[in-house]
Structure formats: C-alpha cells, structure tokens
Amino acid sequence: MRIQLAILLTSALLSACSSQPKLSKVPVDSGQQCYQEASREMSVRLDLIRQLVSEGQYFSAIAHLEREPFASDGARFLMAESLRKSGQPEAALAEYHKLKDGCLHALGYLGAGKIYAVNGKLHEALEELKVARDLLPTDANIRNDYGFALLASGQFKRAQQEFLTAIQLNNEHRIAIKNLVLALILDQDTKTAWAVAEHHSMTPEAFQDLMVRAAQFKKVSLTPQKDAVARVPVQIPDSGLEQPILIRTGETL
C-alpha cells in the first residue's frame, strides 16, 4: 500500500509538470569544446586543472589559472567554481555572470543562483536557478537546486515537482529524495512522505531527522525577522546548494 502511495504521488506530480518545457539534449561535444584553448598544450594544461577542481583542490586550481593566460569559457568556469568553493563568493559571482554570454551560460546562471541562495537572497536565486533549469532541463542536480530554493521560499508543491523530476532523472539522487520527503512533511503530508521514504529505503531514524529539520524550518520561517525564510538553506545541511558543480562533459555540459 505504501509503495502504491509513492507511485500515485509520482503520477500526480508528473501531471502537474505537464506545462514545463519539453526535455531537450545538448550536443554531445559542446561541453568539451568550451574547454578548448588556442593551443593543444594550453588545452592539456587546462585538463590538468579540471582534475584539480574535481578533486577539491580549489586553491591550487586558482593558482594555476592565475599563472596561465587561459581564454576559454571552461577556464572561466573553473575559476568561478574554485572561488565559490574556497569561500570567495563575491569574486566567484563576478566570474559566473561573465559566463552567461558564453557556451557554458547555463552553469553561469547555476553558479550565481547557488551563491544567492546560500547567502539568503532567495528572489535572485530563484530567478537564476530557473534560467539554469530551463537551459538544462535534464540535469538532476539543477532540478534539485531549484527545488530547494522553491522549498526555502515556501513553495512546497512546486518544490516537490522539481525533486521528483530530479529523482526520475537519477533514481540514486539521495539528496533529492531527502528533499522531496522534507517538502512533503512541510506540506503537511506526512503519510505520503513516509511512503516515499520507505519506498527509497530510508531508515526511520533518517525520516525522524527530516521531521526535526521540518520543525526547525517552520520555526525559522515564522519568526518576525525580514529574511527569516531566506536563511533556511544555510541552516539545513545537505540541501545540495553547497555541492560542487560537477565537471560536466557531453550532453550535460
């Protein structure tokens, strides 16, 4: 019965998503092209820096990017991401904005949206993340990030749609699964939230933790401070917003 509830939830939410743009794919080689430099030697060096970023060595990546006269959008993205993950959001934001006019424009909007969200600027975050979602509608991570910004702004049902889409695009997306359960709890649908949690093999302890987080969310959002809800993404860990933007190749950039 509980699994049936999860299936019913899937059908209901997908019907609500029918007005969203049709899914599309980016040409397979477009991501790699964005990292091409003027010479093969420079492109090889940039590939090595991409490896540093993927390993979380952000300060080292910044040093190497500053040393060489890289000119590609890929190099700019690696700098933006390294700045963001090394605690330099203002410098990172400037780089992400510059990306919006190039071949990695979706990641420019995504990075800017992440920075706005974790700094409590939800209105700006929603605008940026929606553009990223529309540009790369099959990217599960972007769907999750946009969904959490919707959740933080109190739009629980719209958030559920984004989380469910992320899960169907990647059924191992544990963060999106937790966020979907959290959104259902906040929407006062605890029965369905537990059905979804059980369907995805979530432990009772993990579900109880989400119940506690939901209570904390409500407490913060009901306080009289002007930006109370906007602070929620920072206070709830594992939202996905702080995650690195994966070094994308192929159809997901």
pLDDT at 119: 87
Contacts of 120 (CB under 8 A, 6+ apart): 227, 230, 231, 233, 234
- pTM to 2 decimals? 0.77
What parts of the chain have a pLDDT lower than 70? 1-31, 221-253
What is the DSSP track for 128-149?
HHHHHHHHSTT-HHHHHHHHHH
- Please state, as a whole number, how many other Cβ atoms lie within 10 Å of the Cβ of residue 177: 24
- Give the position of tokens 């369907």: 199
Chain-centre distance for alpha carbon 58: 19
Q: What span, in angstroms and rounded, lies between the C-alpha atoms of 116 and 90? A: 10
Rounded distance between C-alpha atoms, residue 13 and residue 196, angstroms: 13
| pLDDT value, residue 249 | 36
Q: In one letter, which amino acid is 92? A: A
Q: Which CATH number fits domain 2-34+104-252: 1.20.1090.10, 3.40.50.300, 1.25.40.10, 2.30.30.60?
A: 1.25.40.10
Q: What is the DSSP string of 26-78?
A: --TTHHHHTT--SSHHHHHHHHHHHHHHHTT-HHHHHHHHHHS---SHHHHHH
CA distance 60 to 45: 13
Give 56-103 pLDDT, tens digit per residue.
999 999 999 999 999 999 999 999 999 999 999 999 999 999 999 999
CA atoms within 13 A on the CB side of 226: 1
- What pLDDT is attached to residue 245? 62
- For residue 17, the model assigns a pLDDT of 34
What is the rounded distance in angstroms from the CA atom of residue 95 to the CA atom of residue 16?
Answer: 36
- Pick from 172, 154, 69, 149: which is nearest to 162 by CA? 149
